[in-house]
Homo-oligomer: A and B are copies of this chain.
């Protein structure tokens, strides 16, 4: 999501047949990592798979199996999973294309979700985005990430310890938990952005500089890209909740409704932030023009007082032979008095005009 122009590399695919498997996006890890969790209410098993084939036996067990794959550049892994689980080629293509828009697709025996996981990089002050694909069927969930991020760890921990309802419920509840974890990440982003906005606002109130303006615009642009992930996310969660797929049990729907409420809250906050930034921009622009006015006023006051006085001084600096005032005894002090009176009345005029 960095501050960059989107749509990169997409064009490398044009001309290829649909369903051609090519990884579009950065290679973010050296070697893909395959993690398997298999559980039901009673038993629990966890293992790191060395080869993708180790996952396949779990397919037909009655227990819930969660296969998590970190790293997408090893196309053959995706291909083998696709063949074994009987996924549509276009689905596999979408997993590999990390420029995807969040979406949901229902293939009867399984549901496919693409989401964007966001996390804040404190070093670069950027929002980074990873694409997460989740496929869930009757008794399995397969998740694909671009690289290992620890946002799913609490869920793993809950499964391991058997805390909460998760062990008692189906694959749809596990899929819900993953989505919930991703949406929770958005709140952390919003908190960070909220702090940034407050910072910039404080600085602006103290001393508005062009740097403030750039900070506001950087934040605005972040909002634009955040919005771009959030709106489709909301649609996806809504479609999932309203889906009539038999894969989603009734008691999961209320949880999905809850996630849906969270996405709406995220959208609300993003929109509020946008409004606040627009307001800050207005305040910035009018502070600047105010400062300009201040400067102009000083210039005008100084200039309008001294230009006429300088003219008068210039007049009595002329070398005409016949200038009787120059010879008067009190000429000089009288002139001073005149000039002081002019200056004071000018000031009075400005005060009356409320320029001082």
**Inside 8 A of A322's CB, which chain B residues have their CB?**
328-332
Q: Residue A42 at the B interface, CB < 8 A?
A: no
Give Cα A184–Cα B24 distance, bound, in whole angstroms.
Answer: 14
Q: Specify the chain B residue showing the minimal Cβ separation from A99.
A: B265
Distance, CA A315 to CA B320, complexed state (A): 11
Interface-side segment among A45-53, A58-66, A288-296:
A288-296
Instruction: Tell me the bound Cα distance from A94 to B257 in angstroms.
Output: 12
Q: Is residue A82 contacting chain B, with contact meaning CB distance below 8 A?
A: no
Chain A residues bordering chain B, tally (CB within 8 A) = 115
Q: Which listed residue (B261, B306, B319, B326) contacts A308, Cβ 8 A? A: B306
Determine the chain B residues whose CB is within 8 A of the CB of A295 once the complex forms. Answer: 293, 296-297, 300, 355
Residues from chain B with Cβ under 8 Å of A81 in the complex: none
> Considering the chains assembled together, what is the distance between the CA atoms of A197 and B3 in angstroms?
13
Shortest CB–CB separation between residue A19 and chain B, in angstroms? 7
Query: Within the oligomer, what is the number of copies of this chain?
Result: 5
**What's the minimum C-beta distance from A86 to chain B, rounded to whole angstroms?**
14
Determine chain A's interface SS by DSSP, over half rule.
helix
One of B289, B299, B353 near A294 (C-beta < 8 A): B353
Q: Could you list 16 examples of A-B contacts with CB < 8 Å? A: A5-B195, A6-B269, A8-B191, A10-B191, A14-B188, A17-B164, A101-B264, A103-B261, A214-B283, A220-B279, A281-B282, A285-B286, A289-B289, A299-B303, A313-B314, A322-B330
Per CB-CB distance, the 4 closest pairs between chain A and chain B, nearest first, are A313-B314, A17-B164, A14-B184, A5-B194
Residues of chain A whose beta carbon lies under 8 Å from any beta carbon of chain B: 5-8, 10-11, 13-20, 88, 90, 94, 99-101, 103, 105, 154, 158, 163-166, 177, 180-181, 184-185, 187-188, 190-191, 194-195, 197-198, 207, 210, 213-214, 217, 220-221, 224-225, 228, 254-255, 257-258, 261, 264-265, 268-269, 272, 275-276, 279, 281-283, 285-300, 302-304, 306-311, 313-323, 325-332, 335, 353-355
